Every structure is written in structure tokens, then in C-alpha cells.
């Protein structure tokens, strides 16, 4: 289980595969200087609710992976996560969709 830490005060557990995809989407938004909401469903152990965080470009974020190897990236999932991130509701952790076949000559 990997960890996402925001402002050294909030730490949330995500599996490494999800965390790797979130890192790419959050990184892209922050590189552009964009603020946005980020929400996820909480596990039963901490109340089974939903958490929402306002991500701001000047606040430090930290991604800690439990595994030593980076997972493969599903471009379809990145696109779906980025679509949520660009919506008024903000980035939402959604289930991984099946990966679309890569178009010839297309790069990730």
C-alpha cells in the first residue's frame, strides 16, 4: 500500500497502481499551476465516508510507494482521471477501465 501525503499533515493510503496514476494526473495539474478538488472513498476502518481535499500548487505533495518497481501505466485510466480532474467536482478516484489498444505511432 502506497501513501499520498499532502502538506506533511494528511496521509492517505492507496494501492501502488492507483497511486502511480494519481501521481501523473496530480503532477500534470500542478505543473500548469492549477488548483482543484481531489476526492476518494474512505475505507470502512475510518468511517466509510468520502473525503475531499483542495489541492493547491504551492502546497507540497509526497508519493510513497511500497513496491520497488513502477507499475505499468494505463493511458485510458489516465485520460479518465484527467477528465474528472478537469470537472467542477475535481479529481475522483475511479475504477480502472480496460486499456484501449494503442494507436499505431501514438506515445504515452
Residue 9 falls inside a structural domain? yes
Q: What is the pTM of this model?
A: 0.89
Domain count, the chain: 1
The pLDDT value recorded for residue 105 is: 46
The pLDDT value recorded for residue 103 is: 61
Residue 105 falls inside a structural domain? no
Residue 60, CA distances (Å) to 7, 55, 56, 88 in order: 5, 9, 9, 23
Residue 21 falls inside a structural domain? yes
In the sheet that holds 2-6, the strands lie side by side as: 10-14, 2-6, 61-64
> Tens place of pLDDT for every residue, the chain, 108 residues?
999 999 999 999 999 999 999 999 999 999 999 999 999 999 888 888 999 999 999 999 999 999 989 999 999 999 999 999 999 999 999 999 999 876 644 554
Which residues constitute the domain of residue 40? 2-92
Amino acid at each position: 500500500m502506497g501513501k499520498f501525503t499532502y502538506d506533511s499533515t494528511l496521509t492517505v493510503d492507496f494501492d501502488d497502481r492507483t497511486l502511480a496514476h494519481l501521481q501523473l494526473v496530480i503532477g500534470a495539474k500542478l505543473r500548469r499551476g492549477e488548483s482543484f478538488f481531489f476526492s476518494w472513498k474512505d475505507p470502512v476502518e475510518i468511517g466509510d465516508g468520502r473525503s475531499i481535499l483542495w489541492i493547491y500548487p504551492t502546497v507540497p505533495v509526497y508519493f510513497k510507494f511500497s513496491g520497488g518497481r513502477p507499475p505499468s501505466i494505463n493511458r485510458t485510466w489516465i485520460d479518465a482521471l484527467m477528465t474528472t480532474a478537469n470537472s467542477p467536482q475535481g479529481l475522483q478516484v475511479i475504477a480502472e477501465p480496460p486499456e484501449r489498444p494503442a494507436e499505431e505511432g501514438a506515445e504515452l
